[in-house]
């Protein structure tokens, strides 16, 4: 037997579909509903297991979007994706009324970067909707989160926060098996001082006993490790991060480059299988 961690199943690949005009990573190229739908179709063809659709950028300094505008951008897109086939849709929103409209249009996962803290009714809405929920760690709020974040023990603090949010969700009536956790790479974390230990400590987040979603694709820490490479130049680093997540046992990776990630994960899983057989 090898002493390497055993990969039981490769993580699911969640493809990112942005219906936002100012997303940092694709410059809002997918704002028009038709273009966003085309992009969704392409990610499905490339092997996405889940699509994550969002209409509000969480980038520091991004313009806030009203709930009405989010609903207007997301609902037709979600309905169209669901009409195409069976790929589950997750909605990236912090607003309970948007989550509700998205579920009515066919989404089944609420991906909330605020871990159901944005509105007083978020927890009760998640319980009422009965959907899966992704509870993500973020220090501060999107506008200010990168202003001097401080941690004494970043992995321990993120794990404690996520365990507390999972408890709060369950106390509000969200079923345990509906809960995902996400360390929130890049959300209120210093580029390398915090994101790297978190990437290295993912197994401690996995050990909390919930499926873990990892979103490291094209994030700034990759650029920081490669001479300031821009978002479009971070594919290699994004794949390295996805493979590190798989080794730590994450259940899903949230990525822009679905085809390349699926291939990398398949090769890694095959090598691990050959090693342990």
Positions touching ligand HH2 (CB under 6 A) are 16, 18, 20, 23-25, 54, 57-59, 92, 111, 113, 134, 136, 182, 184-185, 213, 215, 254
Task: Find the shortest distance in angstroms from Cβ 189 to ligand HH2.
Answer: 11
In angstroms, rounded to a whole number, what is the distance separating the alpha carbons of residues 75 and 102? 6
For ligand HH2, which residue has the nearest CB? 215
In angstroms, rounded to a whole number, what is the distance separating the alpha carbons of residues 237 and 214? 14
Cβ-based nearer residue to ligand HH2, 52 or 100: 52
Cβ-based nearer residue to ligand HH2, 180 or 272: 180
In angstroms, rounded to a whole number, what is the distance separating the alpha carbons of residues 98 and 95? 5
Candidate list 254, 259, 273, 275, residue with the active-site label = 254
Helix (H/G/I), strand (E/B), else coil: 20: coil
Task: Find the shortest distance in angstroms from Cβ 115 to ligand HH2.
Answer: 9
Nearest to residue 11, comparing CAs of 271, 266, 274, 259?
Answer: 266
Alpha helices of 46-153 — where are they, by DSSP H? 67-84, 96-105, 122-129
In angstroms, rounded to a whole number, what is the distance separating the alpha carbons of residues 55 and 78? 11
In angstroms, rounded to a whole number, what is the distance separating the alpha carbons of residues 177 and 132? 8
Task: Find the shortest distance in angstroms from Cβ 38 to ligand HH2.
Answer: 18
Cβ-based nearer residue to ligand HH2, 59 or 204: 59
Cβ-based nearer residue to ligand HH2, 115 or 272: 115
In angstroms, rounded to a whole number, what is the distance separating the alpha carbons of residues 90 and 47? 16
In angstroms, rounded to a whole number, what is the distance separating the alpha carbons of residues 202 and 250? 8
Query: Is 165 among the residues known to form the active site?
Result: no
Task: Find the shortest distance in angstroms from Cβ 34 to ligand HH2.
Answer: 19
In angstroms, rounded to a whole number, what is the distance separating the alpha carbons of residues 143 and 141? 6
Query: Is 139 among the residues known to form the active site?
Result: no
Nearest to residue 135, comparing CAs of 107, 163, 155?
Answer: 163
Task: Find the shortest distance in angstroms from Cβ 112 to ligand HH2.
Answer: 8
- Report the run of H or E that residue 111 belongs to, with start and end: strand 109-112
Asked if residues 15 and 50 have their Cβ atoms less than 8 Å apart, the reply is yes
Cβ-based nearer residue to ligand HH2, 153 or 232: 232
**What b/e sequence results for 124-147 when a residue is b if at least 16 CB atoms lie within 10 Å of its CB, and e otherwise?**
ebbbebebbbbbbbbbebbeebbe
Task: Find the shortest distance in angstroms from Cβ 57 to ligand HH2.
Answer: 4
Candidate list 95, 100, 189, 219, residue with the active-site label = 219
Cβ-based nearer residue to ligand HH2, 18 or 261: 18
Enumerate the active-site residues.
Answer: 219, 254
């Amino acid at each position: 037997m090898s002493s390497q961690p055993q990969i039981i199943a490769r993580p699911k690949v969640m493809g990112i579909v942005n219906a936002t005009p100012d997303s940092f990573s694709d410059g809002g190229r997918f704002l028009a509903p038709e273009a966003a739908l085309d992009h969704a179709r392409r990610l499905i063809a490339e092997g996405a297991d889940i699509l994550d659709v969002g209409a509000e950028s969480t980038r520091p300094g991004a313009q806030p979007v009203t709930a009405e505008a989010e609903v207007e951008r997301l609902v037709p897109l979600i309905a169209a994706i669901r009409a195409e086939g069976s790929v589950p849709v997750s909605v990236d929103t912090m607003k309970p009324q948007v989550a509700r409209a998205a579920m009515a249009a066919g989404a089944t996962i609420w991906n909330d970067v605020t871990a159901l803290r944005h509105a007083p009714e978020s927890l009760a809405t998640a319980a009422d909707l009965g959907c899966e929920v992704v509870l993500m760690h973020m220090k501060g709020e999107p506008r200010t989160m990168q202003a001097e974040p401080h941690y004494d023990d970043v992995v321990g603090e993120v794990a404690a926060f996520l365990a507390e949010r999972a408890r709060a969700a369950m106390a509000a009536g969200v079923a345990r098996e509906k809960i995902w956790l996400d360390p929130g790479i890049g959300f209120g974390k210093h580029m390398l001082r915090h994101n790297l230990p978190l990437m290295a400590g993912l197994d401690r987040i996995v050990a909390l006993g919930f499926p873990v979603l990892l979103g490291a694709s094209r994030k700034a820490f990759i650029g920081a490790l490669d001479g300031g490479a821009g978002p479009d130049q971070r594919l290699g680093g994004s794949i390295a991060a996805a493979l590190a997540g798989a080794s730590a046992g994450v259940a899903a990776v949230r990525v822009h480059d679905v085809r390349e990630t699926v291939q990398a994960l398949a090769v890694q899983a095959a090598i691990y299988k050959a090693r342990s057989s």
